[in-house]
Amino acid sequence: MDEEEHLHRYGTPLDPLEKDEVPAKKPLGIEDQVVKDENGKRRFHGAFTGGFSAGFWNTVGSLEGWTPQNFKSSRAEKATPRAQQRPEDFMDEEDLGEFGIAPQGIRTRDEFAKESELEQRTGQRKRKLMQAPASGPIPGVPVLEQLLKPVKDKVAVRILKSMGWKPGQGVGPRQTKKEKQQAKTRNTREQYLLEHYGAEPKEDQQQDEAVVDADDDDDDEEDITFAPDDYEPVFYTPKENRFGMSYSGLNRDPILSKSSSASGANVMQQFNLFGDLETKSHPKKVTIRGQAFGVGAFEEEDEDIYARDDMTRYDFTLENKKPKQKKVQHVQQRHVIEGFSEDKSGVSSQKPFAIDLPRDFSPRNWLHRRSRFEPLAKEKIRQLEADNEYKKAGLGRHDLNPNQRAKLLGEAAISAEEPTKKNPFKDKGKSLLERITSKGNSFTTGGVITETGEEQPQKPKAIDVTKEVVQSNAAILEKASLKTKDLAPLAPKAGFKPFLADEAKQQRYEKFLEANLKDETKITEFLSNLQPVTLSLWDREMEKKEFIQAAKIYRPLAGLMYDRFVSEASVQADKVDSAKDAVPQETKQIIMERTKTMWKPSSLLCKRYNIAEPFGGAMIEPEKELKAKPKMSIFDYLETSINTKANFQTPTIIPKHIEKPKEVPPLPAPVPLAPPVLEASKSSQSIDPPPSSSKVTFVPKTALEKAVDESRDRPISEKVDLFKSIFDDSDEEQEEQVVENAVEELPEDKLSAMQAALGLPSTSTSSAAAVNILRNNSPPRGIFAALFKPPAEDQPPKDTPPPKFAPIEGNKLKISYKSREERLRNDKELAMADVPKEDLYGPKLPTSQQKIQAVDSEETSTDAKLQELLLQHGSRKRKPDQWVEKILDSSDDSEDDSDTDASSDSSSDRIKKSKSSKAKKSHKTEKLKKSKKSKQKSKKKSKKSDKTKHKSKKKKSKH
């Protein structure tokens, strides 16, 4: 029974079921239970029926449910920009209510909140930081409390921690063991007294208590200090009844109900999850209430008859309770303010002397702000007036400009007399003092000079002031001159005397200094006059050098200063002058300079401006700095493979035998003296191919093509040759090439001669060959091997330059290696393209050669136009007609393959050319027999042209 008393119950107990009674209703199923708010509306819906208080049924109160905000703005009423949406906009009243998800109300923030408040708010009890070690069944700090620590401390705690405080410690200066114990006993005592008497302990009690308690420390470890103990702060309970002090009458509450016991603190302590594990089982207090014995009439009255004793106040052991000597000292120390220590030196404090304040001193509160309009103190007014007197007199700092002031100070004379010399210190002839004194003299004569420049009869006040100034200045100057009189003569040559040991030399040096010569020859002359004859030439030279050096090093200080410093007045004067100059600066002439240079507008710019390109677009571009692609892309590398301009080596590598053919063509020309004629005939020839030739005509496959087709289907094992030819060491090939080239030279010559005779453009196959040799022939490595496989089509022509007679099988294989589309295209090209005349022996002309036949004058590239221009200007005799194109070709030749990545213009040019070449070829097909070799060549060429076409297409698409 007794135990049940201590049990706690939660909730309201159900009515006990009668045994016979059958429950009338079925208990509600979970699905039928509905949460309703205070208005009886349904609060929660199922997840699929609107969720939390949303949806169709009970939103904003309307059947429509939520209606979107509509935007209204009229001229009269401007729509105000909607403020940022807040979560509150979407909340009901009840959400904001006390039990809602966002309760409203003014309260302290969590970090500042009192513990008890926080407890209330969060429903949890936080650890009591100032709690004394609990007295539960488990000794030590409550376990739960230790486990669950607050996430963040209160501000005060944080501050304390930053000051070195640790939880569990008390606050205050560190104490020695003794002090600590004293404090502890004191505290317990105070606590006790407070509990029982509700009043501060009396001083004497404390004292003797301290004396009693402090005796048990034997070790004098004054060095070791401890943090003071923590103690529960004392809470004073207000007196609410009219009983006597600390009297609590009989408890009127029923004995069993503990909840309504008097002290509020107890209520909270009834059950505490975070407190002790067990509710406090009240230990039986060993208290003796009242006094055991009454007070007799003759006895002295007790100090307090209401004192309640407990067993702690009784001694249980026999101990020496005599206070030690030390204790006395400690007791004494108690009078010292905390944080201070007693001065043991014994020096009596000095008596503070009275400060005699000025009679008119009136203490002022500086925090108190004065009104601006408060009347000033009379004296202050007087003082201010006196201070500003000069302003009235028109002598204020800002009343005069520097010039006027300079005049007033007598400096004006200088600037007037010697306007050329801006720096008065520069004339070193005069000593500084002389000049100063001279100025000093002028002070005395100075007066106020008005702006008009007239010396006016001054107003009495002004006279006073200026006179005073002048006189005082004069006096100072006099004094100064007196003081420095002795120094004055020394001043100019007061410099260091480097040659004191040798007097004659020193004299010579001084003379040398005076002479102040700059020119070396003059110095030697000058010195030779001074120097004694006995001196050797070498000595003389040395001396000269020494002197010059010394003069440089030991320059008199004054001289140094002369150079570096300038009197302020003169600087100001300069400034004024410059300012003056600035005003009439308007005369400063702006001289317009016009320079004209060539500038090439880009063709697109011209197009957009609807203007024809200047000089027909044949201007030289100064630099092609912009040609570099501004953006990097992996596709750039994929497309342009290796044969970009940048990848080409310097022309030093070009083998000689390749350059030869270049020079050859003009030589074999039968009529070298009449190139215009020749060219004219050529052009006439080149026009010959009918314009309709550009049409694509399909020709049935030849035997070779069929063979090639067959070879495509062969197994890989048979294609070893192909791979070899591709990835084999290029050196061998090159060597071969060289040999072949050498062999070919002769036929080539023949060819060119033939061509010349026929009026065909001379071939310079070498250029293509050269270009090809310059290419990076090494097989692709690493990832590039994979990267460059698809464009492998690029490689065969590279590896096997046009002039080379490659074995047919190899070639076939190469072709077979290509991708399918490529093959198809090639077939077409093959069909279209044709072999050159059979009577032309030797390698097929590279495609670039044949582009020439493009006749359209509009299609000339910029280079060609440039050439044209050059020729026009260079030799007027020549007719600037079609023949120019020939030169274009030759020039093109050299560049052609090298700048595959060149501008879109040139590439587009090339297409046209290749087209025309194609046209020509197809034209030829009709009349010419096909040879295997030539077919191979043409295949290659067609490939090439195809490539260029492809590229140009890409470029075009970019625009």
Partner 1 sequence: MPTFAEFQCQTTIDCKQGAVRAVRYNIDGAYVLSCGSDKKIKLWNPQSGLLLKTYGGHADEVTDAAGSCNSSYIISASLDKSIIYWDVSTGSPVRRLRSHAGGVRCVCFNEDSSIAISGGRDNAVMCWDIRTRRLDPVQVMKEAKDCITTVLTNQDKIYAASLDGCVRSYDIRMGELTCDKVGEPITYLAQTKDEQCLVAGCQDSVVRLLDCETGGLLSEYKGHKADDYHIECGILANDAHIVAGSSEGLVFIWDLLETNILQRLRISDNGGVVHSLATHPKRQELLFARRRDIYVYTTDIQIEEEQL
Q: Which two tokens stand for residue 785?
A: 């091997």
Do the Cβ atoms of 750 and 842 come closer than 8 Å? yes
| Per-residue three-class SS string for 52-98 | ECCCCCCCCCCCCCCCCCCCCCCCCCCCCCCCCCCHHHHCCHHHHCC
Report, in Å, the least distance between residue 586 CB and partner 1: 7
Indicate the residue among 382 and 608 with the shorter CB distance to partner 1. 608
How far is C-alpha 166 from the chain's CA centre?
Answer: 41
Q: 3-state DSSP call for residue 169?
A: strand
- Triad 620, 623, 624: Cα angle to 5°: 105
Report, in Å, the least distance between residue 622 CB and partner 1: 10
Among 79, 590, 634, 786, binds partner 1 (CB under 8 A): 590
Per rule CB under 8 A, count of chain residues that contact partner 1: 31
Pick the stretch among 434-442, 610-618, 799-807, 824-832 that binds partner 1 (CB under 8 A). 610-618
597 binds partner 1, rule: CB under 8 A = yes
Report, in Å, the least distance between residue 653 CB and partner 1: 33
Do the Cβ atoms of 766 and 682 come closer than 8 Å? no
Indicate the residue among 67 and 610 with the shorter CB distance to partner 1. 610
Q: Which two tokens stand for residue 101?
A: 């998800």
Site string for partner 1, 783-812 (x = CB under 8 A): ------------------------------
d(CA 906, CA 351): 106
Indicate the residue among 578 and 931 with the shorter CB distance to partner 1. 578
Among 170, 601, 675, 779, binds partner 1 (CB under 8 A): 601
Among 242, 370, 372, 596, binds partner 1 (CB under 8 A): 596
Do the Cβ atoms of 830 and 892 come closer than 8 Å? no
Cβ contacts of 753 within 8 Å, gap of 6 or more: 668, 669, 670
Among 615, 723, 784, 841, binds partner 1 (CB under 8 A): 615
955 binds partner 1, rule: CB under 8 A = no
Indicate the residue among 218 and 586 with the shorter CB distance to partner 1. 586
How far is C-alpha 657 from the chain's CA centre?
Answer: 59
Other beta carbons within 10 Å of 902: 18
Q: Which residue has the tokens 């501000």?
A: 155
Report, in Å, the least distance between residue 566 CB and partner 1: 28
605 binds partner 1, rule: CB under 8 A = yes
d(CA 142, CA 145): 5
Indicate the residue among 434 and 636 with the shorter CB distance to partner 1. 636
Pick the stretch among 138-146, 147-155, 286-294, 606-614 that binds partner 1 (CB under 8 A). 606-614
Site string for partner 1, 221-260 (x = CB under 8 A): ----------------------------------------
Q: Which residues pair with 225 in a beta bridge?
A: 176
Name residues contacting partner 1, limited to 626-665 (CB under 8 A). Answer: 626, 630-631
Among 265, 288, 416, 604, binds partner 1 (CB under 8 A): 604
Q: Cα dihedral angle (667, 673, 679, 682), rounded to 10 degrees?
A: -70
593 binds partner 1, rule: CB under 8 A = yes
Site string for partner 1, 469-488 (x = CB under 8 A): --------------------
Do the Cβ atoms of 95 and 102 come closer than 8 Å? yes
Report, in Å, the least distance between residue 619 CB and partner 1: 5
- Triad 490, 496, 502: Cα angle to 5°: 105
611 binds partner 1, rule: CB under 8 A = yes
Pick the stretch among 418-426, 609-617, 663-671, 830-838 that binds partner 1 (CB under 8 A). 609-617
Site string for partner 1, 544-583 (x = CB under 8 A): ----------------------------------------
Do the Cβ atoms of 708 and 826 come closer than 8 Å? no
Site string for partner 1, 884-903 (x = CB under 8 A): --------------------
Q: What is the per-residue DSSP string for 411-443?
A: -HHHHHH-SS---TT--TTS-HHHHHHHHHHHH
Q: How many CA atoms lie within 13 A of 583 on its CB side?
A: 5
Do the Cβ atoms of 192 and 311 come closer than 8 Å? no
418: amino acid identity, one letter: E
Site string for partner 1, 159-178 (x = CB under 8 A): --------------------
Residue 136 burial (10 A CB sphere; 0-12, 13-18, 19+): middle
Candidates 907, 887, 889; CA nearest to 899 is 907
CA distances from 505 to 501, 544, 547 (A): 8, 11, 10
Q: 3-state DSSP call for residue 840?
A: coil
600 binds partner 1, rule: CB under 8 A = yes
Q: What is the per-residue DSSP string for 782-804?
A: HHHHHHTSGGGGGHHHHHS-TTS
Report, in Å, the least distance between residue 594 CB and partner 1: 4
Indicate the residue among 422 and 600 with the shorter CB distance to partner 1. 600
Pick the stretch among 607-615, 800-808, 826-834, 867-875 that binds partner 1 (CB under 8 A). 607-615
Report, in Å, the least distance between residue 591 CB and partner 1: 7
Among 619, 738, 887, 928, binds partner 1 (CB under 8 A): 619
Indicate the residue among 242 and 596 with the shorter CB distance to partner 1. 596
d(CA 720, CA 181): 102
624 binds partner 1, rule: CB under 8 A = no
606 binds partner 1, rule: CB under 8 A = yes
Report, in Å, the least distance between residue 631 CB and partner 1: 8
d(CA 42, CA 49): 12
Indicate the residue among 63 and 583 with the shorter CB distance to partner 1. 583
Pick the stretch among 218-226, 593-601, 657-665, 780-788 that binds partner 1 (CB under 8 A). 593-601
602 binds partner 1, rule: CB under 8 A = yes
| Per-residue three-class SS string for 454-492 | CECCCCHHHHHHHHHHHHHHHHHHHHHHHHCCCCHHHCC
Report, in Å, the least distance between residue 885 CB and partner 1: 24
Among 614, 672, 790, 874, binds partner 1 (CB under 8 A): 614
Task: Give residues in contact with partner 1 (CB under 8 A).
Answer: 586, 590-602, 604-606, 608-615, 619, 626, 630-631, 958-959
